[in-house]
Amino acid sequence: MSAIGGDSRTTTLRVNPIACEAHGLCADLFPEWVTLDEWGYPIIDGRPVPAEMMEHARRAANACPTLALALESTRRGAG
Amino acid sequence: MSADRLPRLLAGWHAGGSIALAEHLDLHGRLPLPASRGSAELIARVQRSGLRGRGGAAFPVATKMQAVAAAPRRRRRLVLANGAEGEPASTKDSTLLESCPHLVLDGVAAAVAAVTADEAIICVKPGAAEGLSHAIAERSGMDRVVPEVVEVPRGYVVGEESALINYLNTGAALPTYGASHPSERGVAGRPTLVQNLETLAHLALIARHGPEWFRELGTDDDPGSALIDITGAVASPGLYEIPAGLPLGALVEMAGGQSVPLQAFLVGGYAGTWTASEQALELSLGHAALRKRGGTLGPGMVAALPRSSCGVQETARIARFLADASSGQCGPCMFGLPAIADGLQAIVEGLAEPGAHSWVEYWSQLVGGRGACHHPDGAAQMVASALRVFADDLTRHETGDSCLAAAFDRGAGIR
């Protein structure tokens, strides 16, 4: 993650459950963070995505056919 | 006990009758409203009162008010009164509207003043608009903002805040995902204060009598009075106003005591938690007290399950209701809740393998937190508590034995 602010921000992967139609590409592209339930919907690790995995996360989000998957950046801590 | 200072909201309540404006003013006096610059003082009073929303989420009312009041002056603010509670056995909204509509309307007027709104909408269930409109007509000239009354479709999730706002904005009574907080962008994109009817009725009295008066009842953590529906096996089921934090056992006594021997209570409505009778009777009926024990007061609901009823069967029935009530927008809820209901149904019918309840447990954990709204979370919480409280009966059903309810001698149990 090369964004401004560097390690003062954390990024998590979030799914819009209404938009998600269980295509499952996210689990193919980012299996370290996404598994599928028995109906094909993603179960996403809610922890911040580590910097070395950001590329996978981005690829998964970009591949979602319904644009349901997004990277959410939040500032770490109270600041 | 301080219960002799009750009722507050239900003062003057007579079954089947509405308290007319003149009678309302005799009972409660006029609503003192701040001049245009006095709204901060009203919000400060609400903050000191500790009033929390009574629709289920129990969010501090003053915090919401501050958020809406803080909107830039050029943005027109709106008050949305939520009378669309979908809990099937809840009579709170209908009783308030039928019995003391002017208390609710005073609450709307106070909320309008607190956030300097120029529009107010009261959402009610089908059939409730006419009586309320009559009460509004009685107040001709009294209110700076005359509320609009909107009947919304019946349904369990319609009363969910985002679904209600979505209905008003688009006509679709479905929860939304990722929308801004209503205080930022709510109805028609305006800063919107959403409060349920009981909350507004309390607000009407806090505006009159102040925070210290409000805190004369209840506990430090759960101040004021609260409206609770008690259903099931008690002598006089119905709506009661209690000091918040009252032990459930005392409410059961208010309701005439148990009508038959009891097995368990479901506290907090269909999305609440089951507790075995003996422990349940000691539960404090307050948001903060219940939250400490992993429970919820929900929209103010308690149900008493007789010893002679099967808790697993009752849980299966409620799980089916909640599955059917899903708006079907999110996969985990759309597929998970029916899987849970089917699993419980199979156990009840003796069609499940031993250990089948572990699948129900797995699905309950699987769906929690994965919907756009909290509907699946509530269902999961209710089912998880049932698996604990009715563990013995689950095993009996799975191994083909009679459950405890079937084995219970009804004749000997009834006093």
C-alpha closest to that of B120 among B135, B106, B109: B109
**For range B213-222, the mean pLDDT:** 97
Supply the mean pLDDT for chain B.
Answer: 94
Chain B contacts to A (CB-CB under 8 A): 176-178, 329-333, 335-336, 366, 370-372
Q: How confident is the model at residue B79 (pLDDT cuts 50, 70, 90)?
A: very high
Say whether A17 and B331 touch across the interface (CB within 8 A). Answer: yes
pLDDT at B17: 85
Q: How confident is the model at residue A74 (pLDDT cuts 50, 70, 90)?
A: confident
Say whether B176 and A18 touch across the interface (CB within 8 A). Answer: yes
ipTM comes to 0.89
pLDDT at B73 over 70: yes
Residues in B touching A68 (Cβ below 8 Å): none
pLDDT at B13: 87
Instruction: Point out the residue among A17, A40, A43 whose CB comes nearest to the CB of B330.
Output: A17
Q: Which helix (H) or strand (E) holds A28?
A: helix A25-29
Residue-wise pLDDT tens digits, B96-149: 999 999 999 999 999 999 999 999 999 999 999 999 999 999 999 999 999 999
pLDDT at B412: 43
pLDDT at A78: 40
A41, A66, A71, best to mutate vs chain B, most B CBs in 10 Å: A41
pLDDT at B413 over 50: no
CA distance A41 to chain B (A): 6
Do B282 and B246 meet the contact criterion of CB atoms below 8 Å apart? no
Chain A: residue nearest B372 by CA? A17
Burial class (CB within 10 angstroms; exposed 0-12, middle 13-18, buried 19+) of B127: exposed
Say whether A18 and B330 touch across the interface (CB within 8 A). Answer: yes
Task: Give the span between the Cα atoms of B191 and B79, in whole angstroms.
Answer: 9
Q: Which residues pair with B120 in a beta bridge?
A: B79
Residues in A touching B330 (Cβ below 8 Å): 17-18, 20
| Cβ contacts of B144 within 8 Å, gap of 6 or more | B109, B112, B113
Residues in A touching B335 (Cβ below 8 Å): 39, 41
Say whether B370 and A19 touch across the interface (CB within 8 A). Answer: no
pLDDT at A47: 96
Residues in B touching A47 (Cβ below 8 Å): none
pLDDT at B387: 98
Say whether A17 and B329 touch across the interface (CB within 8 A). Answer: yes
| Cβ contacts of B110 within 8 Å, gap of 6 or more | B31, B33, B42, B200, B203, B204, B206, B207
Say whether B370 and A18 touch across the interface (CB within 8 A). Answer: no
Say whether B178 and A16 touch across the interface (CB within 8 A). Answer: yes
A18, A23, A39, best to mutate vs chain B, most B CBs in 10 Å: A18
pLDDT at A50 over 80: yes
Instruction: Point out the residue among A18, A39, A43 whose CB comes nearest to the CB of B372.
Output: A18
Look up residue B151 and give its two tokens.
Answer: 């009947």
Q: How confident is the model at residue A76 (pLDDT cuts 50, 70, 90)?
A: low
pLDDT at B38 over 70: no
CA distance A37 to chain B (A): 8
Do B333 and B368 meet the contact criterion of CB atoms below 8 Å apart? no
Q: How confident is the model at residue B408 (pLDDT cuts 50, 70, 90)?
A: confident
pLDDT at B409 over 70: no
pLDDT at B273: 98
Pairing of strands B225-232, B301-306: parallel
> Dihedrals φ, ψ of B135, to 5°?
-65, -40
Say whether B330 and A22 touch across the interface (CB within 8 A). Answer: no
CA distance B375 to chain A (A): 13
Sequence-ordered alpha helix ranges (H) in B186-242: 197-214
Q: Which residues pair with A70 in a beta bridge?
A: A14
Q: How confident is the model at residue A32 (pLDDT cuts 50, 70, 90)?
A: very high
Residues in B touching A21 (Cβ below 8 Å): 331
Say whether B336 and A19 touch across the interface (CB within 8 A). Answer: no
Q: Which helix (H) or strand (E) holds B304?
A: strand B301-306
**For range B310-325, the mean pLDDT:** 97
Supply the mean pLDDT for chain A.
Answer: 89
> Angle formed by the axes of helices B39-49 and B101-115, to 10°?
120
Chain B: residue nearest A22 by CA? B331
Sequence-ordered alpha helix ranges (H) in B282-330: 287-292, 311-325
Q: How confident is the model at residue A5 (pLDDT cuts 50, 70, 90)?
A: very low
pLDDT at B179: 85
Question: What is the residue whose two structure tokens read 């094909």?
Answer: A40
Question: What is the residue whose two structure tokens read 């698996």?
Answer: B387
C-alpha closest to that of B376 among B270, B264, B229, B265: B270
Task: Give the span between the Cα atoms of B264 and B277, in whole angstroms.
Answer: 4
pLDDT at B414 over 50: no
Instruction: Point out the residue among A16, A21, A39 whose CB comes nearest to the CB of B335.
Output: A39
Look up residue B156 and give its two tokens.
Answer: 């369990």
* pLDDT cut 90: percent of chain B above it: 91
Residues in A touching B178 (Cβ below 8 Å): 16
Residue-wise pLDDT tens digits, B242-265: 999 999 999 999 999 999 999 999
Name the maximum alpha-carbon separation found in chain A.
40
